[in-house]
Structure 1
Amino acid sequence: MPAEMGLWRVDGEKLTRVVPTAVSLESQLESYIESDASMLGEALLIIGRQVPTAHGGFIDLLALDETAAVYVIELKRDKTPRETTAQVIDYGSWVATLGRADIQAIFENYQPGIALEEAFAEMFNETLPLEVNSSQVLTIVASSVDPATERIVRFLHEEYALPINVVFFRHFVDGGNSYFARSWLVEPTSQAAPTSASSRRSKTRERWNGTDWYVSFGEYEGGRQWSDGRKYGFVSAGGGEWFSRTLKNLKPGARVFACIPKDGYVGVGTVLGEAERFDELKVEYQGAETLLASLALDGNYRRDGDENDNVAEWAVPVQWSHTVPSGQGFWRTGMFANQNSATRLRQQFTIEQVSTAFGLNEE
């Protein structure tokens, strides 16, 4: 049994117990949780309320945690113990079939006009992971449960590692003030265990369109400058194999979205050729192929030891569709950013936002 929750008021040297009372309406408790889901012991982003399932039921609340696992939150109503537990498992089995697009649609219906990526970033100060709903956590909210429900939930949690738990609330009223106290049936741990099923990944992870790439154009004083990349048509990286290796994945025809860290997206263009050492790459300038290193550059692309290919600066020629100067980068909360020099850009939110901002959809 969970520990009994008690509350006492201190009156001088005397303690007076405050007797718990029932919440007048379960919808009221639902609203309390919706307003601050940390009541459940975890930072959660509510993404839906009274969400209709494909089987005729309505899930009280759906939420995401910082890993983008989905929490199915069901308030206990007047049902038999087996119905209560079976219902939340049934809801969880349905939620497990939902792809990323389904989760986004649920949120858009719940919060029209707000992108899930933005809400997630505001809540957790993190970019929405590429995989959403790769695991589920089932939570029953109740003031109490009978021995059968407790036995079933413990069995599923402890013997089968099913992430299911009961959160107990007690409501206290004292002197015109209301208080809530909370405890768990099973002491909470990191409940959401990521699934290893590759068949789920295609639904829970945004698909790559095979064309778009994110490129981090890391400007720094005395070194690489975006003004050069913008003027002469290139992106570059170097100073170690880790930096240049991913840049070499860019192939002719790929579309790159160039981003300056802490500034924003500054350019979108098409890759014209394979990556080469900066001091060997030729670009078309004023109608002629010209050695990039021989042009008038604002930045410095040489470094000690760069006779070694792993240390050298590498560059990829790009024909820009649209660029903006450094310091005028485009950024919205929730957009994709990554520490790799180049990586596949899967996040449709970023592609759409940058395309709109740069007028690419009008071309």
Structure 2
Amino acid sequence: MKLFTIDQNGKFVQFKEQEFKEENKEIDLEILLEKNPEYFFDNSKILIIGRQVTTNLNTFIDLLGVDQFGNTVVIELKRGKTPRETLAQLIEYASFIDNLDYDQLNEIYQNYFGDDANLEDYHQEYYKSDPEENISWNKNSKLVIVASNITTEIKQTAMYLRKKGLDVFCVEFKYFVNNTDNKMISSDFVVGDEEFIRTRINSSAQLPKTDKDKFIAELDKNGKLVFESLF
């Protein structure tokens, strides 16, 4: 599909696809997604509560968000092709986030927005939710890779993880420029579906907590071969 803009003389000016990494750093992608999450995620709103969040292993989560139901959204960004270890990184981050309670999430939010910020209040304002609604904070986590090129290996492994019950999603974006330096981005889910954030987790029961060792132990033979080579 060709993309054009129309100039003031009624002439078509073509957009050409370009590698995002050629003229942008990863922080540029972070800022774009931080400011426009609903456009990357098919009109599904996400409240970003942290950027470059430090884990207990001294690694850094690119972006951390919360959906309207209080579920955490862990986002790993790649401005180019996804390397093989991307999913292992994401699961490591999830193992850290999995144990956080509301107070810890609020602390991350305050580090991001300022000491006077309050996650519960801003969450209610952001989603225009009923003040009487009971939010079950961090009952589940959604794990998201956003990249300009999601490799076949990552797609296949992500789909396998979804079959095993993990909420893993992959979003691929394309970057276009024209000769007047106008820019355009398109994005599509390549793993996962349009119900990304809108699906509600049943609040009547707590989902089981897991960690890396437990996760690998519960995999079948083929799954263990894949993930023992990644970690």
Relative to the length of structure 1, the TM-score reads 0.49
Could you tell me whether the CA contact under 8 Å between 1:70 and 1:133 is conserved in 2? Answer: yes
Please state if 1:181 is matched with 2:186: yes
Residues 66 and 9 of structure 1, relative CA distance in 2, 3 Å threshold: same
The aligned counterpart of 1:97 is 99
Compare CA radii of gyration and give the structure with the larger one: 1
The structure 1 residue matched to 2:164, chosen from 160, 166, 184, is 160
Q: What is the Cα deviation at residue 73 of structure 1?
A: 0.6
Within 2, Cα distance between the matches of 1:115 and 1:136? 21
Structure 2 residue runs of 5 or longer lacking an equivalent are: 210-231
The structure 2 residue matched to 1:172, chosen from 173, 176, 179, is 176
The structure 2 residue matched to 1:19, chosen from 10, 17, 21, is 17
The aligned counterpart of 2:3 is 8
SS in structure 2 of the partner of residue 123 of structure 1: helix
- Structure ranking higher on relative contact order (CA contacts 8 Å, 6+ apart): 2
Aligned runs of 1:280-291 on 2, under 5 Å?
Answer: none
Number of residues of Structure 1 aligned to a counterpart in Structure 2: 194
Could you tell me whether the CA contact under 8 Å between 2:174 and 2:186 is conserved in 1? Answer: yes
Aligned runs of 1:1-363 on 2, under 5 Å?
Answer: 6-9=1-4, 16=14, 18-23=16-21, 24-41=24-41, 42-76=44-78, 81-112=83-114, 113-126=116-129, 127=131, 129-157=134-162, 159-174=163-178, 175-191=180-196, 193-194=201-202, 196-197=205-206
Q: Which has the higher helix share?
A: 2
Within 2, Cα distance between the matches of 1:138 and 1:102? 19
Q: Give the letter for the 2:165 counterpart.
A: A
SS in structure 1 of the partner of residue 122 of structure 2: helix
Q: What is the Cα deviation at residue 139 of structure 1?
A: 0.4
Deviations 1:319-362 (A, max 9, x none): xxxxxxxxxxxxxxxxxxxxxxxxxxxxxxxxxxxxxxxxxxxx
Could you tell me whether the CA contact under 8 Å between 1:7 and 1:19 is conserved in 2? Answer: no
Within 2, Cα distance between the matches of 1:171 and 1:199? 39
Identity %: 29
Could you tell me whether the CA contact under 8 Å between 1:167 and 1:183 is conserved in 2? Answer: yes
Could you tell me whether the CA contact under 8 Å between 1:48 and 1:107 is conserved in 2? Answer: yes
SS in structure 1 of the partner of residue 45 of structure 2: coil
Structure 1 residue runs of 5 or longer lacking an equivalent are: 1-5, 201-363
Deviations 1:46-66 (A, max 9, x none): 100100001121101101111
CA RMSD of aligned residues (A): 2.6
Q: Give the letter for the 1:25 counterpart.
A: K
